[in-house]
Amino acid sequence: MNLSLLFWAFRQTADPRFYHVAVRHADTVLREFIRQDGACHHIVSFDPATGQRIEALAGQGYAADSAWSRGAAWALYGMTNTYRHTQDQQYFEAAARVAGLFWRELARDPIPFWDFRLPTRENMPRDTSAACIAASALIDLARLAPLPAGQTYHQLALRILHAIYTEATTFDEDEDGIVLHGTGHFPHHQNVDVPLIYGDYFFMEALAKLRGQSPSRW
């Protein structure tokens, strides 16, 4: 998600180091974080001396090999953005792979649980922030993708945003945010079923895109 700052620095200075650092990091994400089914590790540990992978860690997800929904949303947004900056097809393909995960998981219910691969979903909270991030990313991906895939991504974004608006928004001034039912860090029982500032941000960004404003602030 932060790579756009490096791409911006490259454009401003023409110093190729910024571009190369961004691409190298993106390639590491492709190689070590995003799995073939579109699910993503939250944390991967590397040997600081050799750079070799040690292990994947659960982080804010249920387990190291589960599918933390906001992590997948970050990957979807980040890979879409990296493709927009580089036009390198491998990043588009990665974004499409993660989009496929959302398409499968949200086919019946467009607001994800905090992890897609929980042993049980009974009494488990959802994460509206993951939904908002994914929706905003899908709008961008739809503009970059050929038909009919682009139309599919756009329709999924609309379904997610409609569900958020009708089921999870408030304009109560006593609330801390607009979008309710976010899950910050469930394993540590922190910020569960609350508004989250990044949920609000990406909800508003997605709506701005639908109104024809700049494709991305990033």
Whether 217 is in a domain gets the answer no
Tokens of 188: 């540590």
Number of structural domains, the chain? 1
Q: Flag whether 216 is in a domain.
A: no
Q: Which residues, in sequence order, are CB contacts of 86 under 8 Å at separation 6+? A: 7, 23, 26
pLDDT (0 to 100) of residue 1: 87
Read off the pLDDT of each residue in 59-81 and give the average, rounded to a whole number: 97
> Global pTM?
0.96
Say if 215 falls within a structural domain.
no
- Asked if the structure places residue 203 within a domain, the reply is yes
Tracing tokens 């569900």 back to the chain, one arrives at 163
The yes-or-no verdict on residue 214 having pLDDT over 90 is: no
19 assigned to some structural domain: yes
User: What ranges make up the beta strands (E) of the chain?
Assistant: 43-46, 53-57, 182-185, 190-194
Give 160-182 pLDDT, tens digit per residue.
999 999 999 999 999 999 999 99
Distances (CA, A) of 69 to 8, 12, 212: 28, 34, 27
CATH number at residue 86: 1.50.10.10
- Expressed as residue numbers, the domain containing 88 is 3-210
How high is the pLDDT of residue 217?
65
